Amino acid sequence: MPASRNPVLITGCSSGIGRAAADLLVKAGYTVYATARRPETLADLAAAGAHTLALDVTDEESMTAAVRAVEDTHGHVATLVNNAGYGVYGPIEEVGLDEVRRMFETNVFGLARMTQLVLPGMRAAGAGLIINIGSMGGRVAFPVGGYYHATKYAVEAMSDALRAEVGSFGIDVALVEPGPIRTSFEETINSSAAVGNPDSPYADLVAKVQDVNSGAYDSKLLAADAGAVADVILKAVESSKPRTRYLVTATARGLVHARRLGGDTVWDAIVRRQFS
């Protein structure tokens, strides 16, 4: 266990990837601060040995207080896992922009602000690790998910820029890009307001996307449990030189490489075949 990786602060631990990562890192012996908007949802992680804090990545006072609590005890946050996020789905034409702004506040601006808050302490310590939880959807885009993909494309760009900016201070930046992961994500995107409009000219496309998503998340071959992402997060934390990117699931690796190698023509043909 690299001593420079303790303590670990993780956002969005009430369920899914954040919860699995906090649990695994505690079991591996790390000092973990598991956070959520409602800290009462973290009782089992507290019982397992995690420190729990209230943290809402859309609230400046909440973010500042959480980082200060860790720094008051340990001097600095050694590892930040920017995990908090969610998806809003629907056609570009139909999704309300207020919903899009709220999603950007969590997925992009919350991640950015948490990063800003921990960096001074990391620079002073001469070491640190920031792990951003992105998505294969930050490198490929599917219909009806355009705004969600936009948030994850933003995380890709920010991670690349940040890596170049802070490397000389001894700070590493790693980007984890999961494919389909069996969490509450599918339920969240399928319940998005713009997805359920039967009078929409996109209704048939939306129904097809929902069907394809359900098949992917139900498949043992195409999807994985949150523990698969937690394993990759632990791998990055324990590495003295973390990789810049970690694609999680064979689905993610296959689609990202198909997009990269095939270009627009091949990718558009894949999308047409999948969603026609």
Q: What per-residue confidence (pLDDT) applies to 31?
A: 98
Give the angle 176-181-185 at the CA atoms, nearest 5°: 105
Give the angle 210-213-218 at the CA atoms, nearest 5°: 125
Q: What per-residue confidence (pLDDT) applies to 116?
A: 98
Residue positions annotated with a catalytic role? 148
Q: Note if the pTM is more than 0.85.
A: yes
**How confident is residue 264, by pLDDT bands cut at 50, 70 and 90?**
very high
Cβ pair 172, 4 in contact under 8 A:
no
The whole domain housing 233 covers 3-275
Residues in the chain: 276
Please check the confidence at residue 183 and state whether its pLDDT lies above 90: no
The total number of structural domains that make up the chain = 1
CA distance 44 to 47: 5
Please state whether the peptide bond connecting residue 7 to the residue before it is cis, i.e. omega within 30 degrees of 0.
yes
**How confident is residue 189, by pLDDT bands cut at 50, 70 and 90?**
low
CATH code of residue 80: 3.40.50.720
Please check the confidence at residue 13 and state whether its pLDDT lies above 70: yes
| Residues 85-99: tens digit of each pLDDT | 999 999 999 999 999
Q: What per-residue confidence (pLDDT) applies to 201?
A: 93
Q: Record the tokens describing residue 105, joined without a space.
A: 């506040």
Please check the confidence at residue 192 and state whether its pLDDT lies above 70: no
Q: What per-residue confidence (pLDDT) applies to 219?
A: 81
Please check the confidence at residue 77 and state whether its pLDDT lies above 70: yes
Q: What per-residue confidence (pLDDT) applies to 222?
A: 82
Q: What single letter denotes the amino acid at residue 251?
A: T
